[in-house]
Each structure stands twice: as structure tokens, then as C-alpha cells.
Amino acid sequence: MYAVPLADDAELRPLEPWQAEEFLAHMDRARDHVDPWIPWAAKSTDLASARATLQSYADRQAADTGRIYGIWLSGVLVGGVMFVAFDAAAGNCEIGVWTEPAGEGRGLVTAAVRRLLAYAFEERGMHRVQWVNSTGNTRSRAAAQRVGMRAEGAMREAFLYRGVRHDQEFWSLLRSEWPGEG
């Protein structure tokens, strides 16, 4: 087990199936805040479904096609970051994020995303990192901008969720644009 410090009282750690109970409690606190944007949040409503969500990412990690990490603040899970998709052969991946209100406004998501970007570019040699968000999710857009991603465009009514069509924005950062941690 490892932890990467994000702040004096916050750390980034792998989020694994055995942590389903803690993940479910977090999702229950975050649900109203996250559910409008992230479909798997609505699917993690009991211990079995929370475990299944985490297991799906454990399976992706084993296949090297995705990963999920939690953000803990003072020992409490308050959010996370993930490689939604990870294609090492093509050199492309997608990062996603979420947080509950207790994790906002402290730069934790930004710090965690920078760690994932460093891993993707510096350790895995990725060429392109993508970010996708609903145009209505202004906090997600702001996070993409804070880490230096560039807007690529939007797809109108591209995503159906809860009977509503959402426009999606696409952002990316190329390896040649990555300044690193320095």
C-alpha cells in the first residue's frame, strides 16, 4: 500500500474493492453533488454495487486499461481521480475526477490530477491525455483548465443520462505540452 501526499492533511491512494464500505459512505455523502455528472455514482447505491464499481476498476488495472484512486482528507475519503481509459499501445488515456463538498476548494483534485499526468507522461510515455465533461459541469471544466488542458471542442447532445441529452466538452494535454512538476 502506498500514499502520495497532496497536502499536509491529504493523500492520494489506490481505491480497491475491499474499501467498498468506505467508498459507499463517501458516495452517499457525495451523491447529490456527483450524480448529475457521473453515471457510476448512481450505480453505487449499496455495498454490492459499490464493490462492483471498484472491482471493475481493479479489473481494468489488471488489464492496464484504467485505474481508480481515492483522495483522503484527514483520513476521510472525500473524492478521487481515475484513468477512465488507458491505452498504452496507442499512447492515449482519459482522466476523470469527482469530489464531495468537503473536498472542494483546497486544490486536492488539481494536485491529484497533476500526479496522474506525471505518471501518464513521465512513467508510461503517454502521448495524449483526454478529459471529457458535460458542458454544464463548470467545476470539471475549471479543473481541466487549471492543469493546462486545451479545449478541443464540444459534441452537442452526445451523452444521454437520466433521460436528458448532455453536450460534452473535450479537453486534452499532449506530452509536448506537459511542463512536468517543476
The per-residue pLDDT for range 12-40, each reduced to its tens digit, is 999 999 999 999 999 999 998 888 888 77
Instruction: Please report whether residue 32 resides in a domain.
Output: yes
What integer pLDDT is reported at residue 172 of this predicted model?
98
Contacts for 14-20 with beta carbons within 8 Å, 24 or more apart? 14/67, 14/68, 14/69, 14/70, 15/54, 15/57, 15/68, 15/69, 15/70, 15/77, 15/80, 16/54, 16/58, 17/51, 17/54, 17/55, 17/58, 19/54, 19/70, 19/77, 20/47, 20/50, 20/51, 20/54
Identify whether 64 is part of a domain: yes
Domain range for residue 87? 4-177
Mean pLDDT over 139-161 rounds to 94
In a domain, residue 74? The reply is yes
Reported confidence tier of residue 142, pLDDT bands at 50, 70, 90: very high
Look at residue 182 and tell me if it is in a domain: no
Domain count across the chain: 1
- pLDDT higher than threshold 70 for residue 1: no
As a whole number, mean pLDDT of residues 97-105 equals 94
pLDDT of 182 higher than 50: no
Average pLDDT, the chain: 94
User: Whole-model pTM?
Assistant: 0.94
Q: What's the pLDDT tens digit per position in 25-80? A: 999 999 988 888 887 777 899 999 999 999 999 999 999 999 999 999 999 999 99
Is 83 a member of any domain?
Answer: yes
Residue 70's domain is classified under what CATH number? 3.40.630.30
